[in-house]
Amino acid sequence: MNALEKKIMQQHKQKKKIVCAFLTLGYPTLQATEKLIIEFDKLGVDVIEVGFPFSDPLADGPTIQASSDYALARHVKFQDAVRLGKRLRQKKCQIPLIFFSYFNPIHHHGVLPTARLLKQAGFDGVIIPDLPPDESKMYEKIFRKQKMSLVYLIAPTTTPLRSRWIAQKSKPFIYYVSLRGVTGARKQLDSRLAEQVRSLKRLTRKPVLVGFGISTEAHVKQVSRFADGIIVGSAIIKHLSKGQNRLKRTVLFMKRLLKAARTS
Amino acid sequence: MTNYHFPDQHGLFDQYGGRFVPETLVYALDQLTKAYRIIKKDRSFQRELAILLRDYAGRPTPLYHAKRLSQKVGGAQIYFKREDLCHTGAHKINNAVGQGLLTVRLGKKRIVAETGAGQHGVAAATAARLFGLSCDVYMGAEDVKRQALNVYKMKLLGASVIPVHSGSRTLKDATNEAIRDWVTHVDDTHYMIGSVVGPHPYPALVRDFQSVIGKELKIQMKKQLKKLPKALIACVGGGSNAMGFFYPLLSAKIKMYGVEAAGQGIQTKYHAATLGKGSVGILHGMRSYLLQNKEGQVLEAHSISAGLDYPSVGPEHALLKDLKRVTYTSVTDQEAVRAFHELTRTEGIMPALETAHAVAFAMKLVKRMNRKDSVVICLSGRGDKDIDTIRKFS
């Protein structure tokens, strides 16, 4: 069991809500990403998803697209993810890290070398939004051998039969997509979400974390009633995108979301 | 090529193709695959489609012997499969009518489409009228500028054209945005993809709807030519006219050439020669050849022709390249423009700039061939839409 799996299991056993924060690597700078992860760790965030910027982020809305473009324009590279992981570990920041990337950059570097380098850098899991389990059969072994967990997504359009299959494969939790659509902060959550998550939980014992569109404390409280945790991305990136003291304000925002998750 | 049965049941053309998509779309793709299997064998669907292609789209399109051009160039006889005479001016209507009819079968009320040159956008908007569907077309902001005529046509047809400002502001980005729209409205919307690209079943689905080109040619060849042509030539962006042209004749003893856009030259950064200069990668739900940098980031393609300005290519072309069944080559902006003028002056046919790439290569090829031999070029579209570009170029 790797550190990510341990962390998730431990939280889940204690019936604590799991909070996972997404950051675009190198947005607004590589130093900011590092600093934010350290701050988030201190706050008690459970898992960090390090989003690797990609030229064509199909599953992402305007906020993460813009942060990706920004990072790419500043030449963020795969090696920066490796360096980030190593520096965090040197600084004794042990928060579990998930590498979030579209498949092409991983495919291009080679799945095995990528998995190996990420593992050495302290990453314990990967999320590849455009690699459904049907296409990852030949890669699962590689990740398993490197003790890297593959987190899969389940969407509202996924049939029950398929949900069961994906739930079996996804480790150590299931990423439930809260809506039909791309990532991005929303005013309201889908009204069918509670029922959808409850029926998914009848199919699996694994923790179900809900992502896409979670933007406010109220959302966190609402989702915490039926899910095992939350994933926040665009709302964080939005806080990072403008104004003075943006790092500080982002940390405060995260603190409020955490509080909402912990008290519900 | 007798044992050519692609894609397999997983949507793979050997290692190419597949379905690299967000989970939200898997259900819609499964549904589409099922429907596609049914309509392939459904006589009433095929009959309805054949009638629409005949009475609405204007098929069959003629096979024309370009005697003056052949004489001027010297060498083999040049024939054109006249897709430019189709309704809306390009082969794109074949696929749009097919998928429109399929949308009705799926019970969906809305289509989204991406477009580069605007030919597919116009065809989709046209099919939307034919079947009473609402239609949104995503188009790169750059292409909106250079294909103003088609943008206006789409608007007249009641479609909304949504300019895309992200990335390279061309076909690649329009495709991203169309897919994002589809993810959001997957229950009531069909994504009418315009080329043999995207996740399974699209490459096969679009190829089959475009195969009417090659099927007609097969019959026309027998009637009009004394012997088999030596070569078939078509331009390749995503590759739908080429695939529809080649596919029914893959087992025949005919050489095939796919012509990509070399832009300002394949030794420069400014080209769209995916098969010539790209490497295997994943974009828009498929594994195929891709223009990408060392980091696996997708590069911008460059071509004077918006329809060829795409950094990837249909997965079946990737396979045909590896099998060496089709030879892929490329032609620069300048050569294409020259061929546009040549064909316009000698035959009174104004080809689309995409098509002009195939014409330019053919003119080089036939010179080395015997006068008694013949080649057939897929004249995929007409050139009215490119008049402004041509005017500016010279």
Give the span between the Cα atoms of B240 and B194, in whole angstroms.
8
Residue A200, in any domain of the structure? no
- Please work out, in degrees rounded to the nearest 5, the angle formed at the alpha carbon of residue A143 by the alpha carbons of A142 and A149: 165
* Domain termination residue (choose one: B165, B180, B207): B207
**Chain B interface, Cβ < 8 Å to A:** 10, 18-28, 166-167, 172-173, 176, 179-180, 183-187, 279, 281-285, 287, 290, 292, 295-298
CATH number, domain of B183, equals: 3.40.50.1100
Residue at B6 is within a domain: no
Q: Which domain holds residue A245?
A: 3-150+227-263
| A208 is a domain residue | no
What domain range includes position B119? 12-53+92-207
Asked whether residue A193 is domain-assigned, the answer is no
Residue A212 included in any domain: no
Residue B293 belongs to a domain: yes
Positions of A annotated as catalytic residues are: 49, 60
Domain count, chain A: 1
pLDDT for B393: 87
Residue B304 is given by DSSP the state S
What would the pLDDT profile of A174-209 be if each residue is shown by its tens digit? 999 999 999 999 999 999 999 999 999 999 999 999
pLDDT at A222: 97
Residue A264 has pLDDT above 80, yes or no: no
Q: Which of B53, B154, B57, B87 is nearest to B382 (CA)?
A: B87
Residue A14, in any domain of the structure: yes
d(Cα B36, Cα B146) in Å, to the nearest integer? 35
Say yes or no: B106 and B21 in one domain.
Answer: yes
The average pLDDT across A214-221 equals 97
* Strand partners for B163: B139
B374 and B278, same domain (yes or no)? yes
The Cα–Cα gap between A153 and A176 comes to 6
Residue B199 counted as domain residue: yes
Q: Which two tokens stand for residue B303?
A: 């071509």
| Partner-chain contact B167 A55, CB within 8 Å | yes
Report yes or no: B155 and B180 within 8 Å, Cβ to Cβ: no
Residue B4 lies in a domain: no
DSSP secondary structure, A17-57, as one string: PEEEEEEETTSS-HHHHHHHHHHHHHHT--EEEEEPP-S--
Q: For A78, which residue in chain B has the nearest alpha carbon?
A: B295
Same domain, B73 and B98: no
Last residue of a domain, one of B207, B233, B256: B207
* Cα angle B333-B335-B337, degrees, rounded to a multiple of 5: 70
User: CA of A182 to nearest chain B CA: how many angstroms apart?
Assistant: 6
pLDDT at B278: 98
The pLDDT tens digits of the residues spanning A149-182 come to 999 999 999 999 999 999 999 999 999 999 999 9
Chain B residues with beta carbon closer than 8 angstroms to that of A166:
23
The answer to the question of residue B375 being in a domain is yes
Are A58 and B18 inside 8 Å of each other by CB? no
pLDDT at A16: 96
Answer yes or no: do B105 and B215 share one domain. no
Residue contact B23–A132, C-beta within 8 A: yes
Q: What is the pLDDT along chain B (394 residues), one digit of tens a residue?
A: 668 999 999 999 999 999 999 999 999 999 999 999 999 999 999 999 999 999 999 999 999 999 999 999 999 999 999 999 999 999 999 999 999 999 999 999 999 999 998 999 999 999 999 999 999 999 999 999 888 899 999 999 999 999 999 888 989 999 999 999 999 999 999 999 999 999 999 999 999 999 999 999 999 999 999 899 999 999 999 999 999 999 999 999 999 999 999 999 999 999 999 999 999 999 999 999 999 999 999 999 999 999 999 999 999 999 999 999 999 999 999 999 999 999 999 999 999 999 999 999 999 999 999 999 999 999 999 999 999 999 998 7
Whether the Cβ atoms of residue B258 and residue B239 lie closer than 8 Å to each other: yes
What is the ipTM metric for this complex? 0.96
Same domain, B236 and B267: yes
Residue B296 to residue A157, Cβ atoms within 8 A: no
Question: Within this chain, do residues B244 and B333 fall inside the same structural domain, yes or no?
Answer: yes
Chain B residues inside the 8 Å CB shell of A56:
167, 172-173, 176, 283-284, 298
The CATH number of whichever domain residue A29 belongs to comes to: 3.20.20.70
Nearest chain B CA: its distance from A91 CA (Å): 27
Alpha helices in chain A (DSSP H): 3-13, 30-43, 62-73, 78-90, 103-109, 111-120, 133-145, 160-169, 193-201, 217-224, 234-240, 246-263
Residues B304 and B358 in one domain: yes
Return the structure tokens found at B97.
């009518």
Task: Give the pLDDT confidence score for residue B154 in this predicted structure.
Answer: 98
pLDDT at residue A181, as a whole number = 94
Q: Distance, in angstroms, between A197 CA and closest chain B CA?
A: 15
The DSSP line for B239-251 is: -HHHHHHHGGGTT
- Quick one: pLDDT at residue B168? 84
Quick check: is B1 in a domain?
no
Whose tokens are 């080395």? That residue is B368
Same domain, residue pair B21 and B83: no
Instruction: Determine contact, residues B375/B76, Cβ cutoff 8 Å.
Output: yes
The answer as to whether B364 is a domain residue is: yes
Neighbours of B74 (CB within 10 A): 11
Domain total for chain B?
Answer: 2
Q: Is the pLDDT of residue A123 over 90?
A: yes
- Per-residue confidence (pLDDT) for residue A244, from 0 to 100: 87
pLDDT for B309 equals 92
Where among B189, B207, B225 does a domain terminate? Answer: B207
**Short-list B83, B32, B31, CA closest to B59:** B83
Are B268 and B367 in contact by the 8 Å Cβ rule? The answer is no
Bigger pLDDT: B201 or A244?
A: B201
**Contact: A180, B23; criterion CB under 8 Å:** no
Q: How far is CA A89 from CA A1, A96, A99, A160, in A?
A: 18, 10, 15, 40
Active site residues of B: 92, 114, 380
Q: Are B287 and B194 part of one and the same domain? A: no
Which residues from chain A sit within 8 angstroms of residue B166, using beta carbons? Answer: 65, 69
- For residue B297, which residues of chain A lie inside 8 Å, CB to CB? 54-55, 72, 105
Residue A23 maps to a domain: yes
Q: Are residues B386 and B281 in the same domain?
A: yes
Residue A197's closest CA among A167, A171, A218? A167
Whether A181 sits inside 8 A of B284 (CB atoms) is no
Q: What interhelical angle do B26-41 and B43-55 show, nearest 10?
A: 80
Same domain, B71 and B189: no
On chain B, the residues whose CB falls within 8 A of the CB of A61 are: 180
Q: Are A12 and A207 in contact (CB under 8 A)?
A: yes
Residues B268 and B314 in one domain: yes
